[in-house]
Amino acid sequence: MAQLPECENLELRREGMTLHVDFARPQARNAMSFAMVDELMAVLDAVREDREVRALVLRGQGGNFCAGGDIKDMAAARAAKAAAPGEPDPMAVANRRFGV
C-alpha cells in the first residue's frame, strides 16, 4: 500500500480498493491552483504502481467540481519575468504544469 502525500488542497480517503480525492478549495470553487496541481500529481505518482488502488474518485467540495485554473496563479505567472536570459518563460512553465 502506497504512502499518500500530505495535502492542504485535497482530502484523501481510502475505502477498500478505491481512493477518494476531494478538491478542498470550496472558497475558490475548487479552482486548480499550482499547489493543488502539485498535490494531485504527487497523489497520482504515489498510487501509480499500487495494486491496492483500483479506482480513483475525484470530487469537489462545496457544490462545485472544479472552476478550472486559478486565475490568480495564472496572472502571477503572466506577470513574472524569466529569472535569467535563456531561462524558460514563466507562463510556459505554468502551462506545462497543467499538462498543456
The DSSP result for 28-78, as a single string, is GTT-B-HHHHHHHHHHHHHHTT-TT--EEEEEESTT-S--SB-HHHHHHHH
Structure confidence at residue 100 (pLDDT): 52
Question: How does pLDDT run across 41-56, given as a tens digit for each residue?
Answer: 999 999 999 999 999 9
Question: Which residue, 35, 34, 36, 33, is CA-closest to 22?
Answer: 36
Residue 89 φ/ψ region, left for φ over 0, alpha for ψ in the -120 to 50 degree band, beta for the rest: beta
pTM (predicted TM-score): 0.84
Query: Alpha carbon 21 to chain centroid distance?
Result: 10
Question: Which residue, 22, 26, 3, 25, is CA-closest to 13?
Answer: 22
Structure confidence at residue 50 (pLDDT): 93
Question: How does pLDDT run across 15-40, given as a tens digit for each residue?
Answer: 999 999 999 999 999 999 999 999 99
